[in-house]
Amino acid sequence: MSDTILDRFFAVERAKYGKADYYFKPEPVVSRIRAFYARPFCPAYIQTYSTSMYPDTFFASKKKDNPQSCVETEFHENVHKWDRWKQGIKFTLKYIWPHWMGIPFVVGAVVLGGLWSLVALGCLLVLAHAGLAALAVSAGSREDGMPSRGATIAFYILVGIGFLGLLAVNIWFARWWALLWVGALLFFSPWPFKPIWRRDAELRGYTMTLYRIWLKYKAQLNEDWWCRTIERYVKTFSGPNYFFMELNKDYVRKELRFQIDRFRHNEASFLENWQWATRPIKDVELSKEEAEPFRMAKKFMVVEGMF
């Protein structure tokens, strides 16, 4: 068994959560499946993005030979794992809200729309998977692993045709029940309902990333660096990689700046309890617990001499 710095941090996680393991994309198969469906919004899912599925982590392929980089990424993922450990399945449901709310609308539309509604849905799924396959083939033929612009446009055209056809069939055969598909679209699309819990979970995760960098480099990071980094994260939060989870860029800037100021100017308070810039502490004991993954990261970095 290997004994890299990454293995040692996972030993810390296992002591906390009971179990935890790590893999490198595109293995195992679940990573390939997720990459297939994530490609329209996060084409670099395999190469660049690491993902946690409690209690395990699937690291980006580019990190395979770099345990140091992996453990630094794992500090971020451990925030999500800690939240999942404390909240249970509720955390998962909150993270993927509101999209799972569209499922009852789909089921209702198919049941009430009858056979032709089911056929139209099948056609939509076939067209969507044809578009996904085009993205996968295009990505596989390029050195950077990114699908071409033409393949991306083809995907959206196929999905658009499929959905318009689905609506037309349901309006013709199911009449007013066709409106259920509009409800499904509202919950599956990124804009009508803001995924506030996913946004907050990632704000905690990216705060960890910033805190870890600050611990390691401190005086080397000037104000210009902090501003540029915040803007990069703002784009991440408002872009497709996290399915446009927060379009209010000022909100993200305010929260990140608040956390940065906390650990830069009053680290003891930052490690004592978790706070938000935009809302007061309602549960003092909970806020102390929510700071635990940050304490875990610092303690490990001290023991390992990482700064």
Predicted model pTM: 0.92
Exposed / middle / buried, residue 17 (Cβ in 10 Å: 0-12, 13-18, 19+): middle
Contact, 220 vs 228, CB < 8 A?
no
Of the three residues 169, 188, 207, the one that is the final residue of a domain is 188
Of the three residues 43, 78, 96, the one that is the final residue of a domain is 96
Asked if 6 and 85 sit in the same domain, the reply is yes
Instruction: Indicate the angle between helix axes 179-188 and 103-113, nearest 10 degrees.
Output: 160
Task: Give the Cα separation of 278 and 126 in Å (integer).
Answer: 44
Asked if 170 and 270 sit in the same domain, the reply is no
Of the three residues 188, 207, 225, the one that is the final residue of a domain is 188
What is the pLDDT at residue 173?
Answer: 81
Cα-based distances in Å from 51 to 46, 87, 121:
10, 19, 30
Asked if 19 and 123 sit in the same domain, the reply is no
Asked if 63 and 109 sit in the same domain, the reply is no
Cα-based distances in Å from 153 to 100, 132, 138, 156, 188:
26, 11, 12, 5, 20
Predicted confidence (pLDDT) per residue in 124-150, tens digit: 999 999 999 999 999 988 888 889 999
pLDDT band at 299 (very low <50, low <70, confident <90, very high): very high
pLDDT band at 42 (very low <50, low <70, confident <90, very high): very high
Asked if 204 and 306 sit in the same domain, the reply is yes
Predicted confidence (pLDDT) per residue in 261-274, tens digit: 999 999 999 999 99
Reduce the DSSP state of residue 59 to 3 states and report it: strand
Asked if 15 and 3 sit in the same domain, the reply is yes
Residue 239 DSSP symbol: S
In terms of residue numbers, what domain contains 295? 195-307
Asked if 200 and 304 sit in the same domain, the reply is yes
pLDDT band at 246 (very low <50, low <70, confident <90, very high): very high
Contact, 263 vs 270, CB < 8 A?
yes
Number of domains observed in the structure of the chain: 3
pLDDT tops 90 at residue 113: no
The CA angle 227-77-205, to the nearest 5 degrees, is 35
- For 29, the token pair is 């198969």
Asked if 117 and 177 sit in the same domain, the reply is yes
pLDDT band at 110 (very low <50, low <70, confident <90, very high): confident
pLDDT band at 209 (very low <50, low <70, confident <90, very high): very high
- For 175, the token pair is 């009449």
Cα-based distances in Å from 80 to 62, 65, 73, 236, 283:
22, 24, 12, 17, 20
Asked if 153 and 207 sit in the same domain, the reply is no
Asked if 151 and 84 sit in the same domain, the reply is no
Asked if 178 and 276 sit in the same domain, the reply is no
Please give the mean pLDDT across all residues of the chain: 93
**Quick one: average pLDDT of 198-208?**
98
Asked if 267 and 164 sit in the same domain, the reply is no
Residue 234 CB partners (closer than 8 Å, separation 6+): 249, 252, 253, 256
